[in-house]
Chains A and B, each alone.
Chain A
């Protein structure tokens, strides 16, 4: 069975500090991996995705994520948090076919 685990339903960081949002997945086949962000009253927006090739993926707004097959992880990072980064973040995996499996989401708070 496929699943996605996001550790920490709520994460708080100070403005300017490192953002680290964790995502682990389980899959018996190579996955496609995604991070989405949802700002209040908006739809999910794709931050970045890994399909094949380079394991370090850069996305929008300064975010990046690294696919580590040995650790079955795809953690999201940003070197310096900005107030505008406050949102809910979802990790997702696509194994085969057209289904996406999402994690439960991590709400990021940025403290001024």
Chain B
């Protein structure tokens, strides 16, 4: 069984540009989560999808971040326009319906905004 995959693994962009991160959860997992780790800091929750619906987006930093999960399969996280403080590692995780406590994480996307 394939794990959670994320694309790209690394992205370097300039301030003001747009970047879109993609996450493919484990097949059949209703729950999908986005997290972010700024260098040296803790991993912080961004938002949670249940299928295609946003269950909790209280961790989204501001309206420059837009997450979608059309069709309830893969998800994208767009940052537009990117700022320097958006640099960090963005993790995606997924879990089965009713199994929130067992989240499977992807390898992360390392974003550097110059």
Of B14-22, B72-80, B99-107, the one contacting chain A is B99-107
Would B3 and A104 count as touching, CB distance under 8 A? no
**Roughly how many angstroms separate A45 CA and B106 CA in the complex, as a whole number?**
9
CB < 8 Å neighbour of B44 from A43, A49, A102 = A102
Number of interface residues of B (CB under 8 A): 27
**Roughly how many angstroms separate A92 CA and B31 CA in the complex, as a whole number?**
18
Q: Which residue of B lies closest to A45 (CB)?
A: B105
Grouping DSSP codes into helix (H, G, I), strand (E, B) and loop, the A interface class, with mixed when no group exceeds half, is strand
User: Given the complex, which residues of B lie within 8 Å of A44, measured CB to CB?
Assistant: 43, 91, 93, 105
A-B contacts, 23 of them at CB < 8 A, read A9-B40, A34-B101, A41-B107, A43-B4, A43-B91, A43-B105, A43-B107, A44-B43, A44-B93, A46-B103, A51-B101, A90-B43, A98-B55, A98-B56, A98-B100, A99-B45, A99-B48, A99-B56, A100-B45, A101-B45, A102-B42, A104-B40, A105-B42
